[in-house]
Amino acid sequence: MKPLSFLAFVFLVLSLSFGLAQEGAVAFKEPLAVLEGLSRDVLKDLRAGSSKMREAAGEASKKAAESEGKQAEFKIVIGNVDPFQAAEAPTVTRYKIGGRVETERVSGITFSVHILAVLAIDQHPKVAKLKKGDKITITGRIGNAEVLARTQAELHLDVKDVKLP
């Protein structure tokens, strides 16, 4: 093998293996981390009762949406486990776990954090062991992330293809 083609081959192998390692890396370990980098003005306007709360929630949703498709690992308390059929596969029963709504604070702003986890199909045998109130760690890909302006700011995260320990 010529030295130049050997170097190109080594570079190709290393770049592919680095790309695969990055794909599986966990980007978020805490739910509110999806809002990192949000300006202080937007955070201030997310306070309950703010006249600009709705606009600030829109800005925060744009920031949260940047997390979509990235890996996450969250600890949640199970609120419910329910079967469902997705519109794209109505004959396949899937399971979703609704995490108990947690209240968290960042920069003096109170957020209600809502996490919905959709289990990967190969995780379905583990459903029988799950009970309301259990603390579990979920690992998956963020499918949807948004901030809503209700009585207080709400962060909603949907985590897909969830693996359980």
Question: What digits encode the pLDDT tens for the residues 3-32?
Answer: 444 444 444 444 444 443 344 688 999 999
Q: Give dist(CA 122, CA 105) in Å, integer.
A: 35
Which CATH class name applies to 26-163?
mainly beta
What is the pLDDT, as a whole number, of residue 92?
Answer: 87
What's the pLDDT tens digit per position in 73-130?
A: 999 999 999 999 888 888 889 999 999 999 999 988 999 999 999 999 999 999 999 9
What is the pLDDT, as a whole number, of residue 12?
Answer: 40
Is there a contact between 29 and 75 (Cβ–Cβ < 8 Å)? no
- Picking from 128, 159, 153, 138, the residue whose alpha carbon sits closest to that of residue 60 is 153
**Maximum alpha-carbon separation in the chain:** 70
What is the pLDDT, as a whole number, of residue 7?
Answer: 42
pTM equals 0.82
Instruction: List the structure tokens of 82.
Output: 């329910």
What is the pLDDT, as a whole number, of residue 24?
Answer: 63
What is the pLDDT, as a whole number, of residue 2?
Answer: 52
Whole-number CA gyration radius for the chain: 20
Q: Identify the weakest region by mean pLDDT among 15-29, 37-51, 52-66, 129-143.
A: 15-29
What is the pLDDT, as a whole number, of residue 88?
Answer: 84
Domain ranges (residues) in the chain: 26-163
Instruction: Calculate mean pLDDT across residues 43-48.
Output: 94
Burial of 97 (0-12, 13-18, 19+ CB in 10 A): buried
What is the pLDDT, as a whole number, of residue 6?
Answer: 44
